[in-house]
Structure 1
Amino acid sequence: MTGLAATGANPAPVPTTTRSAADIEAWLRLTGARGLGTGALRQLLATFGLPHQLLAQTVSALAAVIPEKHARALLAPPDAATMALVERTVAWAAEPGNHVVTLADAAYPRPLLDLSDPPLVLYVKGRLGALGGPAIAMVGARSATVQGMEDARRFARVLSGAGLTVVSGLALGIDGAAHEGALEGAGGTVAVIGTGADLVYPARHRDLAHRIAAHGAIVSEFALGMPGRSHHFPQRNRIIAALARGVLVVEAAARSGSLITARLASEMGREVYAIPGSIHAPLSNGCHLLIRQGAKLVETAQDVLEEFGMAGGDAARPVAPAPMPALDDVLGLTLTHDPVTLDALCARTALPPEQVMASLLTLELAGAVERLPGNAYRRVS
């Protein structure tokens, strides 16, 4: 995991989030309280006001809302670790493009209020304005296929070009491809991460994270310095779903985090879209399951834009894939988008294995053919 240095991005014209060290300390003491969920903390805020007002109460006053042991812990003087985190957060928030946004701020993204447990504090690196426009979430498999990665880039490029902000999770595979494509359009992109906003995970997305912060925003609900933990990523999925008007699943296995994001989106009244694939491809199973459950099947970015009620100008037209290199006449008749083994190709073409392998290698290097586990191949659009 690597650090993410501040960018020089200028914040969008939204209400300022500049706050004092005392204010940051109060919010961090509240969000760091052990044993208290978001529901209890929101109830405390509703009863007593802002965190500094809440922390000025007596134990007996707080004990009328939460258990007394939690009230005593909350009002206890902050320990050294908490104060070190406060100091670190104050310094981070003073850097250009960094923002600490609380539930009490006008800059807090309104769509997150649809959650039953909206984060009390968000750490945003980049443009706050990126969180306010119409958005589409794009999610999918980390171990995506070549075709899935290309679909994610093309869809994101067209959707961003039409003015939609593409929201994803900065993970490997479909997430990264969606961010890359969206950066080419006017809508930009937002990455919701499962670590502190000062870290980049996975480390290989360091450069991508810098570009997102410069032209969009990186969002986290986790305190600075917090490493990625397994339960953080399903937790951040609810924010991805809430920030967008709909979720597009590009590739997904039958059991995956992408389906969790789609379910959360559906529960919040967001639309769910899915790109179909081969019946033989494991990473199409999740998309097909969603379609059977009522997700809208989409084949082009224009399909999504029509669902959003957006006019389809030049930017909305699907981007044609690069032309595929010519296949050997015989091999071209047998190699389809469905996986086929080398032995089957040899049997169908009556060609020797070395000739088939040579053709397949050339096509694979050109990006026209994808090699799959089990010595199988399939054509890539």
Structure 2
Amino acid sequence: MSAPTTPTTAFALALLSLEGVGRVTAHRLLERFPTAEAVRAAPREQVLLRLKGVAHADRTVAAVCAPSFEETLDEARRRLDALRERQIHVLTPGAPNLPAGLDALDRADRPVVLYAFGDLKALGWPSLAVLAAAPLAAEPFERAQDVARAVLGRGRGLVVGAAHGVDLALQKLSLGAGVPAVAVVGAGLARLERSMRPGATALTRAGGLLVSPFPMTHGPFEHDDRERALVQAALGRAVLAVAPPPGSPEDRAAAWATSTGRPVALLPPAPPEADWADSAHRVIEAEAVAEMVA
């Protein structure tokens, strides 16, 4: 069964369908006005003040207040009904299952809509976000699995990617340990690589969850890896960065995690050019990383 939707869910989808409305505009509106009715009931000056500095704010508010916006909302509701039939969860600001960790992301990076398939309870599991991109050398590949085993052995979960290599290996370790995993897809859920689908099916049947910050048929595009890595880091209570190349999405997501005060471990140590906080530490013992996942 898909997660129940709220009036904000349809409003968020409808907002994003308007020309010129992106994440920053949508978040700034939704933080104060959770529905179209709330926008219309407020003095126009108050709404525009909320959007101060946003391009085309007048046009956006006028579009929401126009009678034709009801058709846009109806279309959003139809899309939600279709997704519900496919058992796709659609999480928007204010939804009880939307992970609080995402709030630490800047508005420009924070998803307005999070799409998910599987058991939403996996989002509440204390988890380690493992940031690793294929291909990995043999040593960091094996050490990442050692850390994962230590985390899983304590009954903690993993937040991984949804690609071949270390992501798939860690998904299999989670299945073997009987601990739900969360896999973040770097494209829309419908664009998950075909060869990864059997593993994704096994993951969700075992209580895990696939999530994506992108619309269902979006991508895949290489430039979206940055956002995927940030969402992955935001969903973990702690982060393990595995041999991240300087400037890579994983490197930048790990740097972001240290800036928020999240515990971050490195395998091996940070690249020379890394802009990470001194609080990030090198992994010496796998158990030490497991202890970071409260």
Q: Which amino acid aligns with 1:111?
A: G
Counterpart selection for 1:116 from 106, 112, 117: 106
Separation (CA, whole Å) in 1 of partners of 2:153 and 2:190: 29
Separation (CA, whole Å) in 1 of partners of 2:32 and 2:245: 45
Cα shift at 1:59: 9.8
- Asked whether the equivalents of residues 168 and 190 of structure 1 are also in contact (C-alpha less than 8 Å), the reply is yes
Percent of pairs with identical residues: 26
Counterpart selection for 1:53 from 15, 37, 44: 37
Larger radius of gyration between Structure 1 and Structure 2: 1
- Asked whether the equivalents of residues 36 and 64 of structure 2 are also in contact (C-alpha less than 8 Å), the reply is no
In the other structure, the counterpart of 1:219 is 211
Secondary structure at the counterpart of residue 231 of structure 1: helix
* Alpha-carbon spacing, 1:288–1:40, altered in 2? closer, same or farther (3 Å): closer
* Alpha-carbon spacing, 1:291–1:72, altered in 2? closer, same or farther (3 Å): closer
Secondary structure at the counterpart of residue 183 of structure 1: helix
Secondary structure at the counterpart of residue 235 of structure 1: helix
Task: Confirm whether residue 187 of structure 1 aligns to residue 179 of structure 2.
Answer: yes
Secondary structure at the counterpart of residue 269 of structure 1: coil
- Asked whether the equivalents of residues 59 and 75 of structure 1 are also in contact (C-alpha less than 8 Å), the reply is no
Q: Which amino acid aligns with 1:303?
A: A
Separation (CA, whole Å) in 1 of partners of 2:220 and 2:136: 21
Task: Confirm whether residue 99 of structure 1 aligns to residue 89 of structure 2.
Answer: yes
Separation (CA, whole Å) in 2 of partners of 1:186 and 1:243: 20
Q: How does 1:334-345 map to 2 (within 5 A)?
A: none
Q: Normalization by structure 2: what TM-score?
A: 0.81
Separation (CA, whole Å) in 1 of partners of 2:177 and 2:138: 22
* Alpha-carbon spacing, 1:29–1:151, altered in 2? closer, same or farther (3 Å): same
Q: How does 1:215-364 map to 2 (within 5 A)?
A: 215-276=207-268, 286=271, 295-308=280-293
Q: Which amino acid aligns with 1:69?
A: R
- Asked whether the equivalents of residues 153 and 182 of structure 1 are also in contact (C-alpha less than 8 Å), the reply is no
Separation (CA, whole Å) in 2 of partners of 1:151 and 1:140: 12
In the other structure, the counterpart of 1:18 is 4
Separation (CA, whole Å) in 1 of partners of 2:92 and 2:246: 36
Cα shift at 1:74: 4.3
Separation (CA, whole Å) in 2 of partners of 1:236 and 1:82: 28
Separation (CA, whole Å) in 2 of partners of 1:26 and 1:141: 35
- Asked whether the equivalents of residues 209 and 218 of structure 1 are also in contact (C-alpha less than 8 Å), the reply is yes
In the other structure, the counterpart of 1:335 is none
Cα shift at 1:54: 4.1
Cα shift at 1:207: 1.3
Separation (CA, whole Å) in 2 of partners of 1:264 and 1:291: 8
Separation (CA, whole Å) in 1 of partners of 2:141 and 2:76: 38
Q: Which amino acid aligns with 2:134?
A: R
> RMSD between aligned alpha carbons?
3.2
Task: Confirm whether residue 32 of structure 1 aligns to residue 22 of structure 2.
Answer: no
Deviations along 1:214-245, one digit per CA (max 9) or x if unpaired, are 23111112122112223322012221111112
In the other structure, the counterpart of 2:201 is 210
Separation (CA, whole Å) in 1 of partners of 2:72 and 2:222: 23
Cα shift at 1:41: 2.4
Cα shift at 1:138: 0.8
Cα shift at 1:26: 2.3
Aligned length: 284
Q: Which amino acid aligns with 1:140?
A: A
Q: Which amino acid aligns with 1:112?
A: L
Cα shift at 1:273: 0.8
- Asked whether the equivalents of residues 122 and 219 of structure 1 are also in contact (C-alpha less than 8 Å), the reply is yes
Gaps of 5+ in 1: 1-10, 277-283, 310-381
Q: Normalization by structure 1: what TM-score?
A: 0.64
- Asked whether the equivalents of residues 149 and 177 of structure 1 are also in contact (C-alpha less than 8 Å), the reply is no
Taking CA–CA contacts closer than 8 Å with sequence separation of 6 or more, which of the two structures ends up with the larger relative contact order?
Answer: 2
Q: Which amino acid aligns with 2:263?
A: E
- Asked whether the equivalents of residues 150 and 290 of structure 2 are also in contact (C-alpha less than 8 Å), the reply is no
Separation (CA, whole Å) in 2 of partners of 1:43 and 1:23: 13
